[in-house]
């Protein structure tokens, strides 16, 4: 990507989208746990980037879409606060395993998801980016905008908490 290319050129905008969209989507997914919402917010953030391409420099494009997406997420949470309290969409899995196995699997999955969900947001985001997205601590630090040492501390605390919870699950 050329540094002097205007952001409003379709080719430049497309290359920015290709470079940052997946990371932004994953970041939003880790924060929300909602695949559909994270896709929508990613698209909306890049739409706003296109609408404001004349005002945004190429160097600040990444920060712009991440900040915009975060603001959109906050607005969405405010809008959905009451709705989310009443949503309940249990997923039913149709497996041919024994009912006992299915029950144990479901209970373990719920306990694990709850343990991860109960992590403080900062720890949860770092944990999921590292373990699910296979990002290095340096990459996570750049995406979130914190030091590598802060990422290491958050990861240590997340793993320590999950170890404590896993002792109770067994």
| Residue of 169 and 22 predicted with greater confidence | 22
Kindly tell me if the per-residue pLDDT of 146 is higher than 80.
Answer: yes
Query: What pLDDT is stored for residue 157 in this prediction?
Result: 92
Which H or E run contains 93? none
Q: Which residue has the tokens 């958050």?
A: 154
Query: What pLDDT is stored for residue 89 in this prediction?
Result: 43
In this predicted structure, which of 32-41, 56-65, 107-116 has the lowest mean pLDDT? Answer: 107-116
Residue 127 CA, distance from chain mean position: 11
Kindly tell me if the per-residue pLDDT of 169 is higher than 90.
Answer: no
Phi-psi region of 12 (alpha: psi -120 to 50; beta: other; left: phi over 0): alpha
Query: What pLDDT is stored for residue 165 in this prediction?
Result: 79
Query: What pLDDT is stored for residue 96 in this prediction?
Result: 58
Q: What are the angstrom distances between the C-alpha of 5 and each of 22, 23, 166?
A: 22, 22, 51
Residue 26 CA, distance from chain mean position: 4
Each residue of 56-105: pLDDT tens digit? Answer: 888 899 999 999 998 888 888 766 664 544 454 444 444 457 788 888 77
DSSP-assigned letters across all residues of 98-159: -HHHHHHHHHHHHHHHHHHHHS-HHHHHHHHHHHTS---HHHHHHHHTS-HHHHHHHHHHHH
pLDDT, the chain, mean: 82
Kindly tell me if the per-residue pLDDT of 112 is higher than 80.
Answer: no
Query: What pLDDT is stored for residue 170 in this prediction?
Result: 55
Domains of the chain: 10-86 (no CATH), 99-169 (1.10.10.10)
Kindly tell me if the per-residue pLDDT of 162 is higher than 90.
Answer: no
Assign 72 to helix, strand or coil.
helix
């Amino acid at each position: 990507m050329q540094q002097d290319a205007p952001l409003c050129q379709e080719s430049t905008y497309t290359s920015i989208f290709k470079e940052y969209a997946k990371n932004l989507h994953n970041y939003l997914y880790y924060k929300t746990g909602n695949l559909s919402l994270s896709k929508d917010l990613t698209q909306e953030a890049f739409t706003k980037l296109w609408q404001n391409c004349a005002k945004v420099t190429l160097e600040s494009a990444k920060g712009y879409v991440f900040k915009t997406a975060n603001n959109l997420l906050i607005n969405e949470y405010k809008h959905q606060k009451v709705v989310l309290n009443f949503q309940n969409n249990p997923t039913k899995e149709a497996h041919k395993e024994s009912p006992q196995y299915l029950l144990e699997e479901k209970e373990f999955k719920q306990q694990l998801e709850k343990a991860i969900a109960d992590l403080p947001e900062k720890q949860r985001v770092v944990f999921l980016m590292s373990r699910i997205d296979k990002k290095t601590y340096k990459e996570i630090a750049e995406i979130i905008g914190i030091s590598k040492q802060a990422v290491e501390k958050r990861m240590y605390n997340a793993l320590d908490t999950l170890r404590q919870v896993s002792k109770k699950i067994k």
